[in-house]
Amino acid sequence: MPRVGFLVFFSFLFFAVYGQSIVVDVKFQGNKKTKSTFLKKFVLVKPGSKLDSALIKKDINRLKRLPAVAHAYFQVFNANEPGQYNVFYGIEENYTIIPFANVYTSNNDEFAFRVGLQEFNFLGRNITLGGFYQYDIFNSYGANLRAPYLFSKKLGLALNYQDLTTQEPVFLDNGTADYKYNNESVEALVLYEFNFKNRVEIGVNLFTEDYAYLSGATNPEVPQSLRVDKYLYKLIYDFNNLNYYYHYLSGYRSTLNLQLVRSQDQTLPDFTIGFNDFLYFARIGANGNWANRLRFGVSSNIETPFAPFAVDNNLNIRGVGNTIDRGTAAIVLNTEYRYTLLENKTYVVQGNFFIDGGSWRNPGGDFGDFTDDQNLRIYPGVGIRFIHKRIFNAILRIDYGHGITKDATRGIVFGIGQYF
């Protein structure tokens, strides 16, 4: 029987048998760290409700999206009285105290890394608590707290702090200058989940940007030192229609990020910025997974050397180098084919072939800049993944990208987690 027909038949059979039945109790098994009290509030099926296969299916999909859950399944058992049933949700838990690392190099001897530690199931309530240290010529650090179900199964809160210092290229008419750039910020976001597929984040970020000239070209119209207090309003809308089966993904997801930035010094003027990430995943056979990310972003088209969209190894194009260019609009496509080479109950070895490509609008330019060969980058490459199936996001990633466009470079990018 075709798969769709089987699902329709199973749903009809389930309703015929259980459609007029009542749930007496909802129980969980297999969860050692995650609190059952949290899970009972999280699921849609409640004691006293009708036994509904559609709600149970939604619960299973919701549970599998929790960082603490590697896999979930259900069982239905007769209770003491006819027409009364107990629903059991089986939980295969992830190990959720996870170190992470990102390391990236290029053929001009650049080297940078970020290491940290995160707990994705703090207090057994799927709260994320973490921090990081970064070395990218200079030292940086940060901390974050994310509790999406702090107040209810729909309403939560996120708090972030970072003190980030890097060496940034500033592109002037007569050459390139290197600046020491520091961004210290505090951010608070309210998280709200409308339903299983749709959620929103709204908040404010207070930050200070500090630029200090190091070396390279100069321009009398561009200050050699600058410190500006700023704040931004942020809105993130996330539509998530992904299906998870351990390390395999299928479906699509779209995340829209809008920001309105206000500045205390018009040397770095007010601006707006928005970008959307569209992700599409497809299963190919038993071992293949095709993954795609398309990002399109636009900001206020201000003619400034401090444009917001960066071309960077660790953000968008593997092998290109660390912040080699900037623009006021960007379009980037990452596509890769992931193939499982080895797999057992605990570990997976996955190979991949990818193509990263993108282009940028120059500050003050127009959308015709997207077709300028000075702005276009295309980097094919290969990589390997070492995956632990029972540790959340425990994916050691190694990618090598080699450019085929003008003035191309090549480089290796290490990291924890899939690139996208």
On the question of pLDDT at 208 being above 60, the answer is yes
Q: pLDDT band at residue 233, thresholds of 50, 70 and 90?
A: very high
Q: pLDDT band at residue 131, thresholds of 50, 70 and 90?
A: very high
**What are the angstrom distances between the C-alpha of 345 and each of 24, 200, 249, 360, 390?**
34, 36, 18, 44, 9
Predicted confidence at residue 19, as pLDDT, reads 52
Predicted confidence at residue 9, as pLDDT, reads 53
How much is the average pLDDT of 227-253? 94
- Would you list the domain boundaries of the chain? 3-93, 97-416
How much is the average pLDDT of 123-128? 94
Between CA 246 and CA 121 the distance in angstroms is: 18
78-111 pLDDT tens trace: 888 888 999 999 999 988 998 887 776 655 556 7
On the question of pLDDT at 159 being above 50, the answer is yes
Strands 84-93 and 22-29: parallel
- 216-226 as b/e, with b when 16 or more CB fall inside 10 Å? eeeeeebeeeb
What pTM, to 2 d.p., does this model score?
Answer: 0.80
Question: Is residue 275 exposed (0-12), middle (13-18) or buried (19+ Cβ within 10 Å)?
Answer: buried
Q: pLDDT band at residue 1, thresholds of 50, 70 and 90?
A: very low
* Higher per-residue confidence, 10 vs 417: 417
Predicted confidence at residue 23, as pLDDT, reads 94
- The fold for domain 3-93 equals Ubiquitin-like (UB roll) (3.10.20)
Predicted confidence at residue 185, as pLDDT, reads 97
Predicted confidence at residue 304, as pLDDT, reads 77
Least confident of 8-17, 103-112, 293-302: 8-17
On the question of pLDDT at 14 being above 70, the answer is no
Predicted confidence at residue 82, as pLDDT, reads 85
Residue type, 275: F
How much is the average pLDDT of 277-291? 97
Predicted confidence at residue 5, as pLDDT, reads 52
On the question of pLDDT at 11 being above 60, the answer is no
| Average pLDDT score over the chain | 89
- The fold for domain 97-416 equals Porin (2.40.160)
DSSP letters spanning 10-62: HHHHHHHHHTT-EEEEEEEES-SSS-HHHHHHHSS--TTSB--HHHHHHHHHH
On the question of pLDDT at 145 being above 50, the answer is yes
CB 187 within 8 A of CB 205: yes
How much is the average pLDDT of 361-389? 93
* Higher per-residue confidence, 144 vs 265: 144
Q: pLDDT band at residue 229, thresholds of 50, 70 and 90?
A: very high
On the question of pLDDT at 10 being above 60, the answer is no
On the question of pLDDT at 363 being above 70, the answer is yes
Q: pLDDT band at residue 415, thresholds of 50, 70 and 90?
A: confident
The alpha carbon of 261 is separated from its chain's Cα centroid by a whole number of angstroms, namely 22
Strand-pairing partners, residue 178, are 169, 215
Element (DSSP H or E) covering residue 203: strand 198-216
Predicted confidence at residue 108, as pLDDT, reads 54
Q: pLDDT band at residue 172, thresholds of 50, 70 and 90?
A: confident
Between CA 282 and CA 261 the distance in angstroms is: 37
181-195 pLDDT tens trace: 999 999 999 999 998
